[in-house]
């Protein structure tokens, strides 16, 4: 075992950026616990987060790597001060409160349509700023048949308009099976 692996050190670090109110302390504490490091983290009145972390150099490096792996966190260490820029591009899904009773064309049973939208979103400091690649889907409650919904009808449902989904608004989505 090298000195890098076994020597216990303590670091005091102040983190600047939008790090309060977004789970940064929780993620840091969770990462430290998972690698066997100890310490504490606190919010300071100036909007920064101050922490003291104790462990091997490898454990401390792993904590920062784990916190940086989060969708939104990018840690840059500059002279003992950490600057955090939180952003991310993620997939999103929004379920709509839509209720239309149907007789399913696939299975012949009664059911209803469940409508949802999928999208990509760019978030800065946990605030969704821009959505794109929106697709609207309908899934039946009786046999889980899945359809892509005409985008204009989907937008109307998203706005809360009273809309009836007709067969011409739907395009069947083929199922893909993965055998492992």
The sign one gets for the Cα dihedral 22, 25, 30, 32 is positive
- Chain-centre distance for alpha carbon 168: 34
Q: Would you please indicate which residues are annotated as catalytic (active-site) residues?
A: 25, 43
Question: How many angstroms separate the most distant Cα atoms in the chain?
Answer: 70
For residue 23, which phi and psi values (nearest 5 degrees)? 90, 10
The sign one gets for the Cα dihedral 71, 13, 23, 83 is negative
Three-point CA angle 50, 67, 91, nearest 5°: 130
């Amino acid at each position: 075992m090298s000195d890098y692996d076994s020597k216990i050190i303590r670091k005091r670090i102040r983190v600047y950026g939008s790090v309060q109110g977004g789970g940064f302390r929780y993620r840091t504490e969770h990462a430290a616990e998972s690698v066997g490091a100890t310490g504490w983290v606190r919010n300071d009145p100036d909007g920064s987060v101050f922490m003291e972390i104790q462990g091997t150099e490898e454990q401390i490096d792993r904590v920062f790597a784990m916190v940086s792996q989060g969708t939104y966190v990018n840690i840059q260490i500059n002279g003992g001060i950490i600057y955090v820029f939180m952003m991310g591009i993620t997939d999103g899904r929004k379920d709509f409160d839509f209720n239309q009773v149907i007789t399913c064309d696939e299975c012949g049973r009664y059911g209803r349509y469940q409508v949802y939208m999928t999208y990509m979103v760019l978030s800065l400091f946990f605030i969704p700023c821009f959505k794109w690649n929106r697709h609207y889907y309908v899934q039946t409650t009786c046999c889980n048949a899945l359809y892509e919904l005409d985008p204009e009808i989907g937008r109307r449902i998203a706005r809360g308009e009273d809309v009836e989904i007709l067969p011409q608004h739907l395009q069947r989505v083929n199922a893909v099976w993965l055998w492992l």
